[in-house]
Amino acid sequence: MDKLLIEGGLKLRGEVTISGAKNSVLPILAATLLTEDACIIKGVPDLRDTNTMLKILKSLGKAVEFDKGVVIVTQAKNANYVADYKLVSTMRASFCVLGPLLARLKKAKVSLPGGCIIGVRPVDLHLKGMRALNSQIDIESGYVLAKTQKLKGANIYLGGEYGSSVLATDNVMMAATLASGRTVLESAACEPEVHDLAEFLIKMGAKIRGHGTPIVEIEGVRELHGAEHKIIPDRIEAGTFLLAALITGGDVIIKNVFAKHLGAVIDKLQESGACLDICDNSIRIRHRKHLSPTNITTLPYPGFPTDMQAQIMSLMAVTEGISVITEKIYPDRFMHVAELNRMGAHIQREGPHAIVSGVKCLSGAPVMASDLRASACLLLAGLVAGGKTSISRIYHLERGYENIEEKFRNLGARIWREKE
């Protein structure tokens, strides 16, 4: 197992190109199960999660080629309807194969999912949607067993305790494309990644309207065909590099980024005092001498993303004054707080709130990553901390950031990996 080592204190300068969105590519790869035709997906990041999804597709009867950011998926043999525990349990997004398998094969056996430990994330909305589409759902020995004679369109409310669910919207939307009649999803997730999936499904022949809004309408079709699609840029990776430039006092141009997908993040950075030059597909960010604290509340899109909460906490930890960060999506997503405090931060948790009292500097220390975004948070802290920071369990980082060490080194960071 590897660990990541960082010598902090250097200002990042230069250009970095953002990879395709992890949270788009995983459900889009799952959507290839809806057809036997060939599908070509471009701009695919080479991530641990991507490769896990490709293994799942192979286990379900697909042939997969992956080279230089392009994935070609074709039918290799008779389709399999069982998504095994050993693969699905490692990555929550793999549960998205349930909808496509049920729609095309009329049955599915999918392990309950795993992934980052960031609090309770039930699949009740996924199952609610499948039942509403006229399928029988049972849970047995850690697997969801789903079957149907014929999926039928329905009006389905997908709001949950903490708002809309991206993966449930993805899963039910995919199943509804082959259901008879009209399906209306209310309180659907509006994230750009959901919109990207819908655009791919439309290229496959699906009839979808309203994607990117809380009301999505799907008119079922008899079959879908192959399609070619390019993945949108990863807004969370882009946001992470924006914060990395700012926390180090650097000057960085972020390329292959859609600023419209980062509205809430950009607003908070500007409120804090960052200088941003925004173009069509790039953002330049520069540091001003004095940054101000800012309060953050995570919300479903277009609100401030929960996947950026840990990273902005690193910035607020070294910004003079008091910031309050409120987590409304996953109230237990604060496992990085203790590790930041080990580096000299002053952060106190009060339920779903983290009260951050900014300090002048952090100190390098051995820390442990608990999940994907906590890994990025500790990396940012290491970039600004005095001395050397050692981050263990970096396999979390590999799940969501492509070539991250190389990208940071190209910006001037001292960062490398060693065996534990």
Q: What is the pLDDT of residue 11?
A: 96
One domain, residues 308 and 191: no
Between helix 309-317 and helix 372-384 the angle, nearest 10°, is 20
For residue 90, give the CATH number of its domain. 3.65.10.10
Q: How do residues 148-178 score in pLDDT, each as one tens digit?
A: 999 999 999 999 887 889 999 999 999 999 9
Sign of the alpha-carbon dihedral angle for 327, 335, 406, 5: positive
301 and 286, same domain (yes or no): yes
Same domain assignment for residues 34 and 134: yes
| Band (114; pLDDT cuts 50, 70, 90) | low
Residue 419 pLDDT greater than 50, yes or no: yes
Residue where one domain finishes, among candidates 165, 198, 230 = 230
Share of the chain above pLDDT 90, in %: 87
The reported pLDDT for the residue numbered 294 is 96
240 plus 155 within the same structural domain:
no
Residue 118 pLDDT exceeds 50: no
> Do 187 and 243 belong together in one domain?
no
From 215, 230, 245, the end of a domain falls on: 230
Paired tokens of 314: 């690193």
Q: What is the pLDDT of residues 26-55, one digit of tens each?
A: 999 999 999 999 999 999 999 999 999 999
Average pLDDT for 340-358? 97
Is the pLDDT at 289 greater than 80? The verdict is no
Beta-carbon contacts of residue 280 (< 8 Å; ≥ 6 apart): none
Both 327 and 278 in one domain: the answer is: yes
- pLDDT tens profile 73-102: 999 988 999 998 888 888 888 999 999 999
pLDDT at site 207: 98
Cα–Cα distance between 247 and 187 in angstroms, integer? 36
Look up the domain containing 104 and give its range: 22-230
Q: Which residues are catalytic?
A: 116
Q: Are residues 192 and 177 in the same domain?
A: yes
Strand order in the sheet with 282-286: 13-17, 251-255, 282-286, 275-278
pTM: 0.96
Residues 204 and 271 in one domain: no
Q: Are residues 218 and 244 in the same domain?
A: no
User: Residue 35 has what pLDDT?
Assistant: 98
CA-based nearest residue to 268, from 313, 333, 224, 231: 313
Residue 104 near residue 75, CB atoms below 8 Å: no
Q: In terms of residues, how long is the chain?
A: 420
Note whether 264 and 332 are same-domain residues: yes
On whether both 27 and 15 belong to a single domain, the answer is: no
**Half-sphere exposure of residue 181, counting CA atoms within 13 Å on the CB side?**
11
Q: Is the pLDDT of residue 115 over 50?
A: no
Structural domain ending residue among the three candidates 199, 230, 261: 230
| Overall number of domains in the chain | 2
Same domain, 262 and 337: yes
Rounded to whole angstroms, the Cα distance separating 86 from 370 reads 20
- pLDDT at residue 117, as a whole number: 45
